[in-house]
Amino acid sequence: MSLGYAEKLSYIEDVGNVGMVEYFDPSHVLREKIDQLAIMIKKSKHLVVFTGAGISTSCGIPDFRGPKGIWTLQREGKALPEASLPFHRAAPSLTHMALVELEKAGILKFVISQNVDGLHLRSGIPREKLAELHGNSFMEVCPSCGEE
């Protein structure tokens, strides 16, 4: 049986603020922000994107500090939800794929990610254009030679 994401994590005593409220913009505000983002991307000469948990939650990978986040549930003494999908079977989201298209078009130059889910690589972002700040759950490095 394959482990879900939460089961792969080590227990951490102090995880900071948890149970953080999620805010959602009204549709007209969201539309305006999307239009502004499109203009900024068009004008960009060197687009770099920084991603975090939010890009992968729609793929079935939980966040940590949100209302239903892993650390929030642990702190509240609640059971972690059963993985709806084994971690290794999560597929990239539409957002991941949009970033790939921006990279292929030569617009996106680099992706910096806090995620360990490997979805940027699976989506097609080239390894040399990706920094995974916390590592990658699916990547191992040889302790002798450093080869991935």
Distance in angstroms (rounded) separating the CA atoms of residues 148 and 142: 6
134 catalytically annotated: yes
For the chain, domains (ranges, CATH) are: 46-60+91-147 (3.40.50.1220)
Nearest one of 90, 98, 94 to 115, comparing CA atoms: 90
What's residue 46's pLDDT?
Answer: 96
Percent of the chain with pLDDT over 70: 86
pLDDT band of residue 8 (cuts 50, 70, 90) is low
pTM comes to: 0.80
Q: Which of 46, 88, 96, 134 is catalytic?
A: 134
The string of pLDDT tens digits covering residues 18-45 is 777 778 899 999 999 999 999 999 999 9
